[in-house]
Amino acid sequence: MERRKGERYVVPEIYRKYITLKVRKVSGEFVPMELLDFSPNGIRIKSSYGLSVNSEIECLISAPKSLTKEVPFIGKIKYCIQDESEGDYLMGAEIIESSDRSGLKIFSEIHDFIKERMGEIF
């Protein structure tokens, strides 16, 4: 049963360079993670290391080719499973806090624009 509120925007591998996600490590540095999909309420990510369920993560989402602004938000890890075939971890996080909700909404519009353009290119 689907429990998500709102539409999920899938980020196909071919245009992940247009929408990026960075997560702050314990050391304080931000490291890139693969953003698989997002919505105004949550994200699904892939990483070479796992994060604890219920832990909070500080994130920055950006569209480097379109906007110079990074939109910060806090997420809470809802699940973390290891992908046996690749050894990476698949995680889902709920967006629990953002000082820029309108900035997050812009990413759905950027997603639609990129998807439209990619259809013309490929």
pLDDT digits (tens, 9 = 90+) for 20-74: 899 999 889 999 999 998 887 899 999 999 999 999 999 998 877 666 678 899 9
Q: Is residue 1, in this structure, part of any structural domain at all?
A: no
Report yes or no: 119 and 111 within 8 Å, Cβ to Cβ.
Answer: no
**Inside any domain, residue 18:** yes
The CATH code of the domain that includes 46 is 2.40.10.220
Residue 2 lies in a domain: no
What is the reported pLDDT for 122?
Answer: 37
pLDDT (tens digit per residue) in 70-97: 889 999 999 999 987 888 999 999 999 9
Instruction: Give, for 44, the enclosing helix (H) or strand (E).
Output: strand 42-47
Tell me the whole-structure pTM to 2 decimals. 0.78
Domain range spanning residue 82? 9-121
